[in-house]
Amino acid sequence: MLKGKIIDKALSTAESIGTDRSRCLRMRFNRNLCSGCTSMCRSGAITIDEDVHILADNCSECMLCVSACPSDSFEIRGSDFYSLLGRLRKIQSSVRTPVLGCNIRTDAACHGKTFCFGFLSEEHVIALSVFMGDTLQIDMTGCADCRNGFIVDVLKKRIERVETKTSLRLSDRIKLVHSKADLDFQEIAYDRRGFFKALKNLTFMQAAGLFDNDDSGEEMRSYSLKKLPFKRELLNRALKVLPEEAGRGLVRNYYYTVGVTENCNNCFACIGMCPAGALKIEETGEGRELFFSSSLCNGCGLCQDFCMTKSVRIEKGFSGDNPFGFSNTKREVLCTA
């Protein structure tokens, strides 16, 4: 109980959003036209010129910039999604349906609190559906009176898009609760049976690799450093435990294929431009060639934009056998039309 109060206090007092210009696509390549964060920001709080700026007086902390950025240029300080997921999963044996609440409402009855639900991308809700196992309630009963009330429709549409793209029935697993009368909150009470079920749930989370977070806490500021975006990490871990049929929808709609045409001169400049390390050089019988891993690709397209010979092509959907391995891009030559 004390630990939960300490976490809630930290959430409410932390500086919410940090930025890393080295992750921003437009900072990495000045001809890039990415506008995900600025187009999503309804308060006009974000500017990108010589740096990535958030105007604190304008920012409503809706967290849409965090979910919109493909390469994690924005991060929520004081937030640990894995710990939150583990906490909700652990109590499933003791309550009918866990409740996830927003930390703005300090008096709300819930089993876990987080920042504004705008940070919940399609990848996040996929992870919640896959790793929670049972139903999760998201308490949106206070959203109507909040300046970020538009997040209700945003999150609803994200869940609908996932259901359109995959066979996952998220609406059966994630309940957006808008009325207090519909919120089913139950206090945590462990009995002997519940304790062992919670332990089993924790073992499942560990087996899925959700607690193998090797984060040294060091800030990423160098343009040369490679970092797997968190949303991509969530997808990879979900894909590894999903049944084959459900996994096909993820691979088709959330993974990518990179190939090169005969114009490629093996300059390999695309490797340095890639923020996630999805491209690398390997020796083959024909010399040094470009290899690609779909599991590390966030689909940002910097490799394609930066290529001087216009020979790199990226397509939505992975066409190979193993998205977690590296494949020769010359065998993945894509249509140039």
Task: Tell me what pLDDT residue 332 has.
Answer: 59
Task: Tell me what pLDDT residue 263 has.
Answer: 87
- Determine the topology of domain 17-76 in CATH: Alpha-Beta Plaits (3.30.70)
DSSP label of 3: H
> 68 Cβ partners below 8 Å, 6+ apart?
36, 37, 39, 40, 121
Same fold, 17-76 and 256-332: yes
Per residue in 122-161, pLDDT (tens digit) is: 999 999 999 987 899 999 999 999 999 999 999 999 999 9
Q: How far is 138 from 96, CA to CA, in rounded Å?
A: 14
Boundaries of every domain in the chain: 17-76, 80-207, 256-332
Average pLDDT over residues 223-236: 91
pTM comes to: 0.85
- Determine the topology of domain 256-332 in CATH: Alpha-Beta Plaits (3.30.70)
Task: Tell me what pLDDT residue 2 has.
Answer: 42
Q: Which two tokens stand for residue 224?
A: 């040369």
CB 137 within 8 A of CB 175: yes
